[in-house]
């Protein structure tokens, strides 16, 4: 569904931003970023839970058929 794509794209962008944050901290040997990285990882885990819940809600309502649902799940897990 369109909402599913929006969720995946948003989550992907968040993961890319997190990856950039971690890479920058690693490359600059910035130990002070540890707390920020931890907090951001926690936020991303919460966001992933929201994405999964929205996906299940779409499946329950019938707005998402089986094959797209499976594809969505595979893509979300890969992120």
The answer to whether residue 27 sits within a structural domain is no
With left for phi above 0 and alpha for psi between -120 and 50, is residue 62 left, alpha or beta? left
CA distance linking residue 4 with residue 54, whole number of Å: 8
In the block, residue with structure tokens 């951001």: 40
Condensed to tens digits (0 to 9), the pLDDT of residues 26-78 reads 888 878 888 899 999 999 999 988 988 888 888 888 777 765 666 666 666 66
What is the reported pTM?
0.73
The number of domains in the chain is 1
* Residue span of the structural domain in which 53 resides: 2-19+34-78
pLDDT reported for residue 22: 93
Is 13 inside any structural domain? yes
In a domain, 24, yes or no: no
The answer for 5, left when phi > 0, alpha when psi is -120 to 50, beta otherwise, is alpha
Q: Are 58 and 64 in contact (CB under 8 A)?
A: yes
Q: Which two tokens stand for residue 4?
A: 């599913």
Q: Is residue 29 part of a domain?
A: no
């Amino acid at each position: 569904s369109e909402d599913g794509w929006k969720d995946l794209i948003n989550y992907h962008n968040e993961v890319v931003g997190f990856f950039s944050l971690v890479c920058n901290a690693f490359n600059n040997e910035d130990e002070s970023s540890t707390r920020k990285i931890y907090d951001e990882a926690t936020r991303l885990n919460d966001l992933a839970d929201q994405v999964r819940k929205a996906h299940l809600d779409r499946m329950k309502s019938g707005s998402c058929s089986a094959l797209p649902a499976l594809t969505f799940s595979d893509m979300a897990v890969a992120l």
